[in-house]
Amino acid sequence: MRNINKLKIGFVFWTGDGKIVPHLLYEFFASKGIGIYFPDKKNKKNSEPIIVMINGNIVSPVNVGYLLYITINYILECTKENGESGPILDSLHKSTSLFGDKNLKLLPTLKLGFISDTLDYGFFFFRNCVVKVTKDGIQIFKYEDFDDFVLEKSIMPIDFVLVDQTVLEQCDFKQFLKDLTIVDDDLKSADRLKSLSSSIGYLLHRYKNPTTTKAIILMDVYINGMPNGGSGKTLLINSIGKIRNLSTIDGKRYDQKEWFGLSSVELETEVLLFDDVEKNFNFELIFPLMSTGMFVRRKYKDHVFIPFENAPKVAITTNYAINGNSDSFRRRMFEFELSATYSADYSPRDKFGRNFFTEWDSQEWNSFYNTMLQCLQLFLKEGLVDSEPINLNLTKLINKSSEEFVDWIEVKIVPEIQYDKKVLYDSFLKVYPEFSGRLKQREFTLWLRAWADFKRFEISEGHSGDIRYVTFSNISTL
């Protein structure tokens, strides 16, 4: 592609009488590095190109307003000595169809290969450099070291520098991660920090590995039977959005049967957050999003299928737990309970005395980026690291049944004693009459089985005539 700096100032895209010549105008755009690009390379027949401009190996989307801006400026620059811009500008005003959607598709089609993550490394783009992260370390490169391209909006507007580890340990974000993972046992706290950091690294890694298709699920830990809201889970995922392209869906309003439910997802979305999903969220319905790709229906636009390798990774935040214990569920879930350091009454701002991101200086931003890069390094080295849950199993039981049921059954049942299911059912309704009419005997039996699984009891069920019995036994005594 020709460079405008190499063109003589006498290069014009108009005739002697000032009439705009279309093919010369497009040659002028081409000399500026402007062309069209198909983000969905595999579906050019049914997708729309975007107009972009190349500067070095930085690619920026541009709009019609910008094309008109550089066109007018160039006309004025070329005619500033003789003042003959009037006829040319008049012709331009009469030729606005040249900037119409159909005509702009006549711009040269650009074949662009972008710097992308692989199984073994990931890239981050800053104002002054490209950073490559592997399991062995963090390396800094110049943009000119690469032949492939980078989208301008992927570049973080800061000069990156490596920060000493002792400084990182004291930065806001590192302390925040420690607060989200702290428990009474120091060794368990360290394990939990490692686990949470690996999940961040997984979401930051743009490579899609077919063998690891999990949703990162962040949930509140139950304290005294209640979820600890305001724990910092959304702030944590939003921090990933400072580095990767994040699309957020309001979990409270999200209807999984809604035709346009995923319309906020774009081709460049790298992480998709279902934020604050409800207790009845059907996780199984998003299995295809993680394993086969994503079909996005968009209002007033062409629908788009995003194949697996380009589809965003999925994160979920919730005050509850996601139901499902089958192998299919476990293969797709990485669950983590956030410690109860923060709450509706005590926020990160209360601790640090400033808002994250908007009140950080360049030192704090660099410490944040360094910490996030280390999370990716950990993931590349060890994968997703599991840790011992706090109250996850209790949370799941409450989600399957109710807090009232759990409180009731813990004092009601004695192992090795045979109970009449109907008597148990009536006993529960007597204590909690608000469940009458909405809790059926069949569902109550499912609650009994879930509680047995939680307690690791062997459950024996039988009947004698119309009476149905249940017995809970310690596994070790059978």
DSSP-assigned states of every residue in 407-467: HHHHHH--TT-EEEHHHHHHHHHHH-GGGTTTS-HHHHHHHHHHHHHHHTEEEEEEEETTE
- What's the mean per-residue pLDDT of the chain? 88
Indicate the SS3 state at residue 63.
coil
Q: Please report the DSSP string for 364-383 in residue order.
A: HHHHHHHHHHHHHHHHHHH-
Report the half-sphere exposure of 135 (CA within 13 A, side-chain side).
8
Vertex 442 angle, CA 438 and 444, to 5°: 65
**Beta-carbon-side half-sphere exposure of residue 245 (alpha carbons within 13 Å):** 16
Taking the CA atoms of residue 405, residue 406, residue 411 and residue 413 in that order, the dihedral angle to the nearest 10 degrees is: 80
Parse the chain into domains and list their residue ranges: 4-104, 121-156, 165-392, 401-477
Q: Which two tokens stand for residue 45?
A: 């027949």
Chain centroid to Cα 152, Å, comes to 19
CB 262 within 8 A of CB 303: no
Question: Tens of pLDDT along the chain (478 residues)?
Answer: 333 333 345 688 999 889 999 999 999 999 999 999 987 776 677 677 889 999 999 999 999 999 999 999 999 998 887 778 899 999 999 988 999 988 999 999 998 999 999 999 999 999 999 999 999 999 999 999 999 999 998 999 999 999 999 999 999 999 999 999 999 999 999 999 999 999 999 999 999 999 999 999 998 876 544 555 678 998 999 999 999 999 888 877 766 555 445 766 777 789 999 998 887 788 888 887 788 877 665 554 555 667 888 888 999 998 888 877 677 788 889 999 999 899 889 999 999 999 999 999 999 999 999 999 999 999 999 999 999 888 888 888 888 899 899 999 999 999 999 999 999 999 999 999 999 989 999 999 999 999 999 999 999 999 888 899 999 998 754 4
Task: Identify whether the C-beta of residue 188 lies closer than 8 Å to the C-beta of residue 386.
Answer: no
Q: So what's the pLDDT on residue 277?
A: 87
CATH 3.40.50.300 fits 165-392, yes or no: yes
The predicted structure's pLDDT at residue 357: 96
User: CB-based contacts of 77: which residues, under 8 Å, 6+ apart?
Assistant: 9
CA 478, CA 474: separation in Å to the nearest integer?
7
Predicted TM-score of the model (pTM): 0.82
Residue 288 pLDDT: 78
3-state secondary structure 459-473: EEEEEECCEEEEEEE
DSSP 185: S
pLDDT at residue number 10 = 63
Give Dmax over CA atoms of the chain in angstroms: 108
Q: Strand 137-141 to strand 130-134: parallel, antiparallel, or no bridges (unpaired)?
A: antiparallel
Residue 1: predicted pLDDT = 33
Q: What is the rounded distance in angstroms from the CA atom of residue 147 to the CA atom of residue 56?
A: 10
The encoded tokens of residue 422 equal 């109907």
Q: Specify the pLDDT at position 70.
A: 95
Identify the residue whose tokens are 């994160």: 315
